[in-house]
Chain A
Amino acid sequence: MQRATEVNCFFACNHQRNIIIMKNFVEIAVIGGGVIGTAITYYLAKAGFDVCLIERNGIAEGTSGRCDGRVIVYDQVPGESCRLAKMSLDLFPQLPDELGFDIGWSQEGTLLLMESEAEYQIAESHCKCMAETGLPYKMLDYHQVHSEEPGLAENVVGGLSVSCDGSVNPMALAQGFEYQAVKQGATVYSNTNVLDIKSNRSNTVDHIITDQGTIRVKKIINAAGSWAGAIGQMVDLSIPIKPRQGQLIVTERTFPVSRQPVSEFGYIVTRLEQNDYQREVTPVMEKYGIAFALEPTNANNFLIGTSRCFTGFDLTSNKELLTAMAKRAIRFYPGLRDIHVIRSYAGLRPYAPDHLPIISDTEIEGFYIAAGHEGNGISMAPITGELIANMIGNIPQRIDIDPFRWQRFSSPKEVDNA
């Protein structure tokens, strides 16, 4: 990253011949134009703040343009993250009207699939646990699950329905937040790279240097997702977020395959710390963290996933991985073998070592972080926006945000390299 001069100056945009002219000053600058950054910009603008969004490429060109669209609690266990997820989910139904934008929202629930008796039993106790927190979890036995889903492989033994889950078009969500944020008075600078951030002598943020100009700020929200660490470095802040790659397959439109979004329960089991349980998967599937999920989209085609592995910032489609993913999918829905795959892509989940996002202030006055949502960024975008807007406006939060503080990392602890 090159250092630009610390003088207000204008540079011709290197992508377009249209010159971006930045303002001299803004109260709050949000860095990162994915779902998190655009959501924050919207909620801040709605609350009356003077806010701008700075995005180095186009809106949703990062992880938010390379993910699935699930808005879920199904991958949660009871606790603070689950509460956060549910609060966020509950904000979605009003969003299309609120944003005046079609975000492709639907609420079809999730059906989790169990492939063994052992899984079924674990699912039963997990179902009870989650139902006790007030979430709509319900078990389906063999006959029920096959009647719900006639396309299922015969040896799927049961299901767990989570009926509150939904789906959205993640790019449209970001575009919708952007749209309404601008209507509420926010400014969006796309194709604008943050080169450096300068603080003043009292360790308060002072100005941001970009390749389109320099802008003085009172507050900065670092919503740069998998790249939040690089932004943090500009203010000498250590942010332990690293990219956890996931790949997805996009199929054509065809006859109904599943009637609703489905996922294999086996993946959740690994998060429930049932260490003696092993899924029946190949070594390649383990290597890439493959766990079957099928999402019927708003466009009537399907997204097939999922995978998780640490490969730095690599975004290339990996054929070995996709082969294993395809096999896993066909295992659950044999009819999928005839469906055509139109494309595949990879995205980088911003992973924090304890699987909880960072939504907080920091030791740098005026510098906030809203990043590290791992695979729940889409789901948690609205609540993150609300939390940051309340934080900035000193409004009491609806949830205890202590678990999400950046300061939880600043004490010398071993970083979990799961």
Chain B
Amino acid sequence: MPNNKSIEFTLDNKTILATEGQTIAEAMIAAGHKTLRISKEGTHQGVFCGIGVCFGCRMIVNGIPNIRTCVTPVTYGCSVQTQNEADFVNTKEGIHEN
């Protein structure tokens, strides 16, 4: 993409660069980061439909989970994390285990 500056942001607490105007998913793919989330069964998943419909590309962005990265632009300094859905338990025992 012509004439676009770099934007710094963090992926799993490591600083990486994206090009202005890129979606988070594009930045992930450009950085070779394919696994965007891990289901509670331990299944790795990433971008699938690329058009914001399947929600497969969801990650934790600025602390908020389940954000579709294929339709969300990178913003300066945003924090992106691989979403580990084993953390999404909601029973008393489950929470105490974590």
Chain B residues with CB under 8 A of A340? 66
Determine if A108 and B91 form an interchain contact, defined as CB atoms under 8 angstroms apart.
Answer: yes
Cα–Cα distance between A255 and B65 once the two chains are bound (Å) = 8
3 nearest A-B pairs in the assembled complex, by CB-CB distance: A296-B90, A253-B88, A256-B90
Determine if B92 and A300 form an interchain contact, defined as CB atoms under 8 angstroms apart.
Answer: no
Q: Taking the complex as formed, is A367 at the interface, i.e. its CB lies under 8 A from any CB of chain B?
A: no
Determine if A300 and B66 form an interchain contact, defined as CB atoms under 8 angstroms apart.
Answer: no
In chain B, positions 53-98 with a C-beta closer than 8 Å to chain A are: 64-66, 85, 87-92, 95
Known: A254-B65, A254-B66, A255-B65. A108 touches B40 (CB 8 A): no
Chain A residues with CB under 8 A of B85? 253
Distance in Å: Cβ of B28 to nearest Cβ of chain A: 20
Cα–Cα distance between A255 and B98 once the two chains are bound (Å) = 11
Known: A254-B88, A300-B40, A300-B90. A259 touches B66 (CB 8 A): no
Q: Taking the complex as formed, is A106 at the interface, i.e. its CB lies under 8 A from any CB of chain B?
A: yes
Cα–Cα distance between A254 and B40 once the two chains are bound (Å) = 11
Chain B residues with CB under 8 A of A302? 90
Query: What are 24 A-B interface contacts by the 8 Å CB criterion?
Result: A106-B91, A108-B92, A252-B66, A253-B40, A253-B85, A253-B88, A254-B65, A255-B65, A255-B87, A255-B88, A256-B89, A256-B90, A258-B90, A259-B90, A259-B92, A259-B95, A260-B91, A260-B92, A296-B90, A296-B91, A300-B40, A300-B88, A300-B89, A338-B64
0/1 interface trace, chain A 382-406, chain B, CB 8 Å (1 if under): 0000000000000000000000000
In chain B, positions 4-21 with a C-beta closer than 8 Å to chain A are: none
Q: Taking the complex as formed, is A257 at the interface, i.e. its CB lies under 8 A from any CB of chain B?
A: yes
Interface set of A (CB-CB < 8 Å, partner B): 106, 108, 252-260, 296, 300, 302, 338, 340
Chain A residues with CB under 8 A of B91? 106, 108, 259-260, 296
Chain B residues with CB under 8 A of A256? 88-90, 95
| 14 more CB-based (< 8 A) A-B contacts, given A258-B90, A302-B90 | A106-B91, A108-B92, A253-B40, A253-B85, A254-B65, A255-B65, A255-B87, A256-B95, A259-B90, A259-B92, A260-B91, A296-B91, A300-B40, A300-B88
Where chain A touches its partner, the secondary structure class is loop
Cα–Cα distance between A302 and B87 once the two chains are bound (Å) = 15
Chain A residues with CB under 8 A of B66? 252, 254, 340
A302 nearest CB neighbor, chain B only: B90
Chain B residues with CB under 8 A of A296? 90-91
Which of B40, B90, B91, B92 has the most chain A CB within a 10 Å cutoff?
A: B90
Distance in Å: Cβ of A140 to nearest Cβ of chain B: 15
Q: How large is the interface on B (under 10, 10 to 19, 20 to 34, 35 or more residues)?
A: 10 to 19
Chain B residues with CB under 8 A of A300? 40, 88-90
Cα–Cα distance between A255 and B94 once the two chains are bound (Å) = 12
Chain A residues with CB under 8 A of B65? 254-255
Cα–Cα distance between A338 and B64 once the two chains are bound (Å) = 7
Which of A106, A253, A340 has the most chain B CB within a 10 Å cutoff?
A: A253
Chain B residues with CB under 8 A of A108? 91-92
Chain B residues with CB under 8 A of A106? 91
Cα–Cα distance between A295 and B76 once the two chains are bound (Å) = 37
Cα–Cα distance between A254 and B85 once the two chains are bound (Å) = 8
B88 nearest CB neighbor, chain A only: A253
Distance in Å: Cβ of B15 to nearest Cβ of chain A: 25
Distance in Å: Cβ of A397 to nearest Cβ of chain B: 35
B60 nearest CB neighbor, chain A only: A255
Distance in Å: Cβ of B70 to nearest Cβ of chain A: 15
Cα–Cα distance between A257 and B66 once the two chains are bound (Å) = 14
Distance in Å: Cβ of B88 to nearest Cβ of chain A: 4
Distance in Å: Cβ of A132 to nearest Cβ of chain B: 27
Cα–Cα distance between A243 and B65 once the two chains are bound (Å) = 38
Distance in Å: Cβ of A303 to nearest Cβ of chain B: 11
Chain B residues with CB under 8 A of A338? 64
Cα–Cα distance between A257 and B91 once the two chains are bound (Å) = 10
Chain B residues with CB under 8 A of A252? 66
Chain B residues with CB under 8 A of A255? 65, 87-88
Distance in Å: Cβ of A163 to nearest Cβ of chain B: 11
Chain A residues with CB under 8 A of B40? 253, 300
Distance in Å: Cβ of A252 to nearest Cβ of chain B: 6
Chain B residues with CB under 8 A of A253? 40, 85, 88
